[in-house]
C-alpha cells in the first residue's frame, strides 16, 4: 500500500484534486490532496459515469463535498471572494449570453452611458433588462455541464 499527498495552487490545485481521485478510485493507493484556490474540475455526470466503479456511485449533487471513500480525501482552500473557484465553463457561457441579450437592447450609446453613470435603473429599464434575460439564448441547456470544486471546502 502506498500513500500519496498531492498539492497545488490554482490550475495545479485542480490537477492535484483529480490526481487524488483517480489514484484512489483506480488503484490501491491512498491519496490526499491539498488544493489552494482550485478551479471547478468535477461534474456530477463525470463523477457518476467515469471516475467511480458502480459500487461507489451515488446521486449526490456535490459528490466530493465530503469523503466518499476511505482511501482519499481532498481539502480545498478557497478565498471567499475568489472568482476562479466560482467560475466554470457553464457559468461563463451563461454570463456571456446575458451580456449579449442586454447588448441587443434597442438602446443607444448615450442611454447605456447614462445608466452606467447614474448607477441606478428606472422601473422601465429594470423590466426591459429582465425580459431580455428571460428570453436570451442559452449556449448550454441544463446543468449537467456544471463543474464544482471537489473535496471539503474551507472558505478563507
One domain, residues 131 and 105 = yes
Instruction: Report if residue 58 sits inside a domain.
Output: no
Angle subtended by helix axes 123-134 and 89-103, to nearest 10: 130
Instruction: Report if residue 63 sits inside a domain.
Output: no
Instruction: Report if residue 9 sits inside a domain.
Output: yes
One domain, residues 16 and 80 = yes
Identify the domain containing residue 8 by its residue range: 4-52+70-86+146-155
Q: Are strands 42-43 and 3-9 parallel, antiparallel or unpaired?
A: unpaired
Q: For the residues 45-63, what does the mean pLDDT come to?
A: 46
Instruction: Report if residue 140 sits inside a domain.
Output: no
The domain total for the chain is: 2
One domain, residues 74 and 36 = yes
Q: Is residue 84 scored above 90 in pLDDT?
A: no
Q: Is residue 92 scored above 90 in pLDDT?
A: no
Question: How high is the pLDDT of residue 55?
Answer: 47
Question: How high is the pLDDT of residue 69?
Answer: 47
How far apart are alpha carbons 20 and 154 in whole angstroms? 18
One domain, residues 17 and 46 = yes
Which of 40, 103, 45 is closest to 76 using CA atoms?
A: 40
One domain, residues 12 and 81 = yes
pTM here is: 0.62
**Weakest-pLDDT range from 10-14, 96-100, 139-143:** 139-143
Instruction: Report if residue 60 sits inside a domain.
Output: no
How far apart are alpha carbons 69 and 79 in whole angstroms? 26
On whether the CB atoms of residues 10 and 87 are closer than 8 A, the answer is no
Amino acid at each position: 500500500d502506498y500513500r500519496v499527498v498531492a498539492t497545488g495552487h490554482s490550475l495545479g490545485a485542480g490537477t492535484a484534486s483529480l490526481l487524488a481521485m483517480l489514484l484512489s478510485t483506480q488503484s490501491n493507493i491512498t491519496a490526499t490532496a491539498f488544493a489552494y484556490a482550485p478551479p471547478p474540475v468535477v461534474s456530477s455526470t463525470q463523477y457518476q459515469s467515469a471516475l467511480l466503479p458502480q459500487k461507489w456511485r451515488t446521486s449526490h449533487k456535490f459528490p466530493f463535498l465530503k469523503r466518499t471513500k476511505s482511501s482519499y480525501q481532498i481539502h480545498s482552500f478557497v478565498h471567499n471572494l475568489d472568482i476562479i473557484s466560482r467560475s466554470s465553463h457553464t457559468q461563463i457561457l451563461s454570463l456571456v449570453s446575458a451580456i449579449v441579450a442586454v447588448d441587443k437592447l434597442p438602446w443607444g450609446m448615450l442611454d447605456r452611458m447614462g445608466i452606467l453613470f447614474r448607477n441606478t435603473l428606472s422601473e422601465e429599464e429594470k423590466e426591459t433588462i429582465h425580459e431580455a434575460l428571460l428570453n436570451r439564448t442559452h449556449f448550454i441547456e441544463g446543468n449537467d455541464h456544471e463543474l464544482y470544486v471537489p473535496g471539503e471546502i474551507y472558505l478563507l
